Amino acid sequence: MTYTATGKRKTSVARVILSPGVGRATVNGREFEEFFGRQVLQTIALMPFEATKTKGKFDMKINVFGGGVAGQAGAIRHGIARALCLADETLRTPLKRAGFLTRDSRVVERKKAGLKKARKRPQFSKR
Q: Which domain CATH number covers 48?
A: 3.30.230.10
Residue 113 lies in a domain: no
- The whole-number pLDDT of residue 25 equals 93
In tens, the pLDDT along 1-41 reads 899 999 999 999 999 999 999 989 999 999 999 999 999 99
Residue 105 lies in a domain: no
Phi, psi values for residue 121, rounded to 5°: -100, 160
Taking the C-alpha atoms of residue 99 and residue 93, their distance in angstroms, rounded to an integer, is 10
In tens, the pLDDT along 45-96 reads 999 999 999 999 999 999 999 999 999 999 999 999 999 999 999 999 999 9
Residue 106 lies in a domain: no
Residue 15 lies in a domain: yes
Give the single-character DSSP code of 103: -
As for how many domains the chain has, the answer is 1
Closest CA to 44 of 92, 99, 83: 99
Q: Are strands 30-31 and 12-20 parallel, antiparallel or unpaired?
A: unpaired
Contact (CB, 8 A) for 78 and 9: yes
Residue 18 lies in a domain: yes
| pTM score | 0.90
Residue 54: what residue type? T
Residue 122 lies in a domain: no
Q: Which domain holds residue 80?
A: 3-98
Taking the C-alpha atoms of residue 51 and residue 93, their distance in angstroms, rounded to an integer, is 10
